[in-house]
Structures are given as C-alpha cells and as structure tokens.
Amino acid sequence: MSSPRSLKDFIAHLPKAELHVHHVGSASPRIVSELAERHPGTVPSDEDALRTFFEFRDFAHFIEVYLAVVDLVRTPEDIRYLTYEIGREMATQQGLRYAELTCTPYTSVLPHDEGRGMSIQAYTEAIEDARVAAERDFGLVLRWIYDVPGESGVPAADATVDFALNHRPEGLVAFGLGGPEIGVPRQQFQPHFDAARAAGLHSVPHAGETTGPETIWHALRLLGAERIGHGTSAAQDPELLAHLAETGVPLEVCPSSNIATRAVATLEEHPIRAFRDAGVTITVNSDDPPMFGTTLNREYEIAAELLGLDEAGVAELARTGVRASFADEAVKTRILGEIDEYVGRPESG
C-alpha cells in the first residue's frame, strides 16, 4: 500500500494558472547563465554565483539587479530562447497549464546604448514564435501583458501603448504598470490605460506594493484596474478591503516577493489572511521566482500554511487563479476540468 501523499506533493502536480509573473524575471539561473555567456559583462555566468547576485538588500536594489538581467536580452534570438525555456520550466516543473507573462518590450526595443535593442516587429515575432512552440511542445497556454516600466515615465508609456495597439501580438490580453511606485504617480498614465482599455485590453497595474492604499485607489479609479498587482497595503484600509470584496477585483498576491523586496517584514506578518478574512479574491503568484529563490509551487505551500488550507482549499485557490485569468472560456473550462479530475483521483494515483 502506498503512503498518503503530502500536501507538498499534491501542490506539485496540481494543474495551475499564474497571473503575476514577469518575463525576464522568470529566467532561471540556467537561462541567465546561457544569456550571460552570450553577453559577458556584469552578470556572472556561474549558477552558484548567480544565486548570490540575486540576494537583494531592498526594492531599489532588486530593480538594479533586474535591469542588469534585462540587459542580457539583446537580440530576437535571446527573446525567443528566454520565452521558450521559461515555458518549458513552467510546464514541466510547476504544473502550469496557463500563464500571463508580464513583458516589458520598452527595455528591449528602445535601447539605452548604441547598438542594443531590436525592432518591435522582431520582438513580437520572437515572443509569438515561442508562445506557439510552448503550447505545441508542453501544452502550456501563454498570454502576454505589456507592462510600462514606471521608472521611465510617460515616454515609456507612450511607446508601450503604441506597441500594444499598433504592433499587437496575437497573445496580448492586458496592459500593466510596474517598477517603483514611490515618486511615480499613477495619474500620469491614465490616458495610456484609457487607450489600451478602449482597444479591448484588460487593466492590471501594480499598486500598493511599496506605497500605501491610496496608490491602489488610484489604480482602480484612474486606471480602471481589473486586477491589482500585489496590493499589499490594502490591508491598511478597511474601506478598500470592503470595496475589493464587493467588486470582486482580485489581488495578485506574491508572498516571497514581498519579503525579498522588504515590502513585508516577515511571512507571519503577511496580509494574505486579512485579505481572505475580508472576502477579497486572492490569487497566488511567484512574481520573479528565480530572483526571489522561490517557485509557484512554493508560493502555494506558503499560502496553504498561512491560510490553514487542506487539499480542497488549495485546489480552490488554483480554481480562483483560472477564473481570475483572461483566458478564453474554453481554456478556463478545460483547466478547471483538469483540476477537478486531479482532485478526484485516489491518493495512490
């Protein structure tokens, strides 16, 4: 007779969707090592040295390290390799069936140094080729969120909305806003989000990760947010929690990320329980998993511990991720069916 499966094993094989995970930030040490060998410079190519390189002091240092990795992605071949290999690892190591990858084309298409960068046409062709191949080879459905790097201001937003509207890849479903929040008011991006939403794209800005609840209110009221990236500080505002619960706007919760960037001091203090208790829709995500020394499976384990979930509760968390996605209804139905089928298997299955 086989021994009962652990919750960790249940999570490892549970079909899942992920909604808050960054394109370049998903590059594992294996992938970064390959890119660093292609483009020698400030990023070490040794995988052990990379793990030390990814140890962050604070959010500002994280941005600095993140941009150093961004600088390794210089050609369409790099983009294609990165995207396809991320898809491979998501499908084969994390049980993912669907993912919305947050891409920041501005940092690849508009280079800071002479001789760097590529055309938006080449960028689009590379991610789309990898998307089609990942679904064919791994059964993983990939969709894109085009993300404005907030630290680059309105010029980056102008370029990103142009990329989204005038060079739209088939897999593009949403328009986002990332990067630092402090000193980057959400109001300046309202025209860009208005244009993206008018073109049928969903609104998914980061908000309330390193600033207070007012940033989340701005994301909702000015940017028409349909999901909130992080939303950590929402727990400070009972009125905001009630609003999120009433409207059903989900929070994309990334526990290990919040600890690594010092947005939250300890896991015990993480507000995910307050979100749950207030009736807010929660999805669990990994953000930039290799950079934070985590995986989506590990984030599910953390959420299960913090929320006191059993297998049924974890499965419902996975269903929530699927329902909160911007996947086609047929894709949602298929993955929800796979979750139900998996949950219904005997433990020895």
Active site amino acids: 209
How many Cα atoms within 13 Å fall on the side-chain side of residue 36? 19
**Dihedral pair phi/psi, residue 110, rounded to 5°:** -110, 95
CA distances from 282 to 22, 126, 211, 230, 285 (A): 18, 32, 20, 10, 10
* CB atoms inside a 10 Å sphere around CB 147: 27
Q: Is 281 left (phi over 0), alpha (psi -120 to 50) or beta?
A: beta
Tell me the Cα Rg of the chain.
19
CB atoms within 10 A of CB 195: 16
Cβ neighbourhood burial of 32 (10 Å; 0-12, 13-18, 19+) = buried
